[in-house]
Structure 1
Amino acid sequence: MAEFMDLNVSTCEDQSRVLDLISTAAQLGFSTVALNYEFEPSANHRAVPSPTPTNQLIPQLPLVQGRSRPIRVLNRLTIVTSDPGHFRPNAPEYRCYDLLAVRPTTEKLFHATDRGVVFELSYAAAIRDATRRRYTISNAVSLMESCRGRNVILSSAAEKPLELRGPYDVANLGLLFGLSDGDAKEAVSSSCRSVLLHAETRKTASGVVHTVKSPDTGPAAKRRHLME
């Protein structure tokens, strides 16, 4: 049985809303969600935000619909930048996050990302109003023409529970975005799992670099991905 994931659920200071998002995701059948924090390095030299520990946010995690285990809650940091130098996956200040992502604000940075990048399509904006829906679909179709549906994940970027949709509904949205039936289902399951496996590798590698302080890790530290 496939495990479904939503790797982009918006977090905010209203903890009750975050709890409702997590509970709704579990009821819809998602086994894993990632709470997304955003960070813009160039914005008045802001410090990297610290994620709220899951056990402080929600003492008892809700059970996933149709399963006998609780939902898994991860923390994700999205770095909004136009400067490749601001995205350093192995930086110590990022180690408290399970996932790293970058939102390029320029075409130059977008095309400068390495091979193996995973692209994310978020659908909540398409639910909020008709204008955003047109832009979301148009941008998604353009992306599909470029990447041919490979290395794509679908997420919500939901800010409130009503913006969440079930895994099969999300996969159907993927068809609207131009994904094939198989790619759309993978975009909420196996492709997300691959992202998590890559992220675990990054965190393990970070620990090794931190421990042995190898001088040969410079090039690896400069790798840039849309999803880490």
Structure 2
Amino acid sequence: MFIELDFQDNGKQSNYQAISTLAQLGYDGVVFSRTINDVITKNDICTFKELDLKELDQNENSSFKNLSSLTLMKNEKKQFRQYSRLNIIISSKKNIFLLKKMENILKTYDIVAVFPQSTEIFEKCIDLPTIDIISFDLSLKYLIKIKYKQVNKAIINGLFFEIRYSSMFKTKQSQARKNTFSNAINVVKYTKGKNLLIASGANDPINLRGPYDVMNMATFFNIPFNQAKNILTANSESVISHGVMRKTYFGVIKVEDKKKIPKELEESTDEDEDEDKNKEEIEIEKEEMMIEKN
């Protein structure tokens, strides 16, 4: 089962067009996303509603008439699956703790992804129980510095890393395409292909590619074809399941057996991290009090 994990929610008509295109390309589902910068509020609660695909058959727009893939799915009693996703671009480490406070808002989304804008923020994100995916803007010249130790810890915590490819097609800048390729190769190197996802990150159906085209593309990222297929199928299902667990069992502390944790991870300075968290939480509380006074 192939699922497109990140297509921007641009409204009903655009989403219908995306579903039509994805079905024809061979996908079985889609995740519609919205993106916010840094601060999440109560107004950011998920408002996405699954589209009624029966309306596609009745739509007079000619672009929706060639829906043989959807029709075939209906005949086989399969349903084109639809999910919601929130992308959060985090530029300030102070806002990381707000994600914990807004857990009820995050639980309204099927998938939550963060885009850390610095190495320090990335280090804080790997311990967040309220997210599912860590993603990066691969079109930039330099990827933030990450280490194997940090990536391993994130994977142990059940988080996924993501490669988004649409930046290679929606820009005429050859440098952005080169950056995406080189940065994607680095992500594969650091994750060793574990807990890896590939999504379009597109906001226009023209930038979507079929599953087998994506698999062929992945070979240029040093991902074997068979592994790429597993990423597009099994890993996509796994991150959705992770989202379900996050929504259902948030707050349950998972205790790992020390024997299963790599030695290098045991050497992490937990006391220093806790001290930093306490200081930052105090700063956030002070800021919130100032806002309330104003």
Fold shared, TM-score > 0.5 on shorter chain: yes
How many residues are paired up? 205
Deviations 1:76-117 (A, max 9, x none): 011111323233397111222111111111111223414222
User: What CA distance in whole angstroms lies between the structure 2 residues aligned with 1:60 and 1:134?
Assistant: 41
**CA positional deviation for 1:47:** 3.5
Asked if structure 2 preserves the Cα contact closer than 8 Å seen for 1:40 and 1:81, the reply is yes
User: What CA distance in whole angstroms lies between the structure 2 residues aligned with 1:138 and 1:65?
Assistant: 40
* Correspondence 1:171-210 to 2 at 5 A: 171-206=215-250
Task: Identify if the C-alpha distance between structure 1 residues 137 and 89 changes in structure 2 by more than 3 Å, giving closer, same or farther.
Answer: farther
**CA positional deviation for 1:200:** 1.0
* Aligned residue among 44, 49, 52 for 1:53: 49
Dislocated runs of 4+, deviation >4 Å: 57-66
* Aligned residue among 83, 88, 106 for 2:118: 106
User: What CA distance in whole angstroms lies between the structure 2 residues aligned with 1:31 and 1:145?
Assistant: 29
The equivalent of 2:39 in structure 1 is 42
* Aligned residue among 110, 119, 133 for 2:161: 119
Percentage identity across paired residues of the two chains: 26
State the secondary structure of the residue aligned to 2:201.
Answer: coil
The equivalent of 1:223 in structure 2 is none
* Aligned residue among 61, 67, 81 for 1:72: 81
Asked if structure 2 preserves the Cα contact closer than 8 Å seen for 1:27 and 1:65, the reply is no
Task: Identify if the C-alpha distance between structure 1 residues 80 and 24 changes in structure 2 by more than 3 Å, giving closer, same or farther.
Answer: same
**CA positional deviation for 1:131:** 2.4
User: What CA distance in whole angstroms lies between the structure 2 residues aligned with 1:75 and 1:89?
Assistant: 20
Task: Identify if the C-alpha distance between structure 1 residues 106 and 154 changes in structure 2 by more than 3 Å, giving closer, same or farther.
Answer: same
Q: Structure 1 regions of 5+ residues with no counterpart?
A: 210-215, 220-228
Task: Identify if the C-alpha distance between structure 1 residues 35 and 10 changes in structure 2 by more than 3 Å, giving closer, same or farther.
Answer: same
Asked if structure 2 preserves the Cα contact closer than 8 Å seen for 1:89 and 1:100, the reply is no
Q: Structure 2 regions of 5+ residues with no counterpart?
A: 57-66, 128-153, 256-294
Task: Identify if the C-alpha distance between structure 1 residues 193 and 65 changes in structure 2 by more than 3 Å, giving closer, same or farther.
Answer: farther
TM-score, length of structure 1 as denominator length:
0.79
Which is richer in helix?
2
1:96 maps onto 2:108 in alignment: yes
User: What CA distance in whole angstroms lies between the structure 1 residues aligned with 2:179 and 2:206?
Assistant: 21
State the one-letter code of the partner of 1:9. Answer: F
Asked if structure 2 preserves the Cα contact closer than 8 Å seen for 1:31 and 1:64, the reply is no
State the one-letter code of the partner of 2:234. Answer: S
User: What CA distance in whole angstroms lies between the structure 2 residues aligned with 1:106 and 1:156?
Assistant: 23
Deviations 1:50-81 (A, max 9, x none): 333114x7554775486432311101011111
The equivalent of 2:4 in structure 1 is 6
Task: For CA contacts below 8 A with separation 6 or more, give which structure has more relative contact order.
Answer: 1
Asked if structure 1 preserves the Cα contact closer than 8 Å seen for 2:107 and 2:246, the reply is no
State the secondary structure of the residue aligned to 2:232.
Answer: coil
**CA positional deviation for 1:17:** 1.8
* Aligned residue among 167, 187, 191 for 1:143: 187
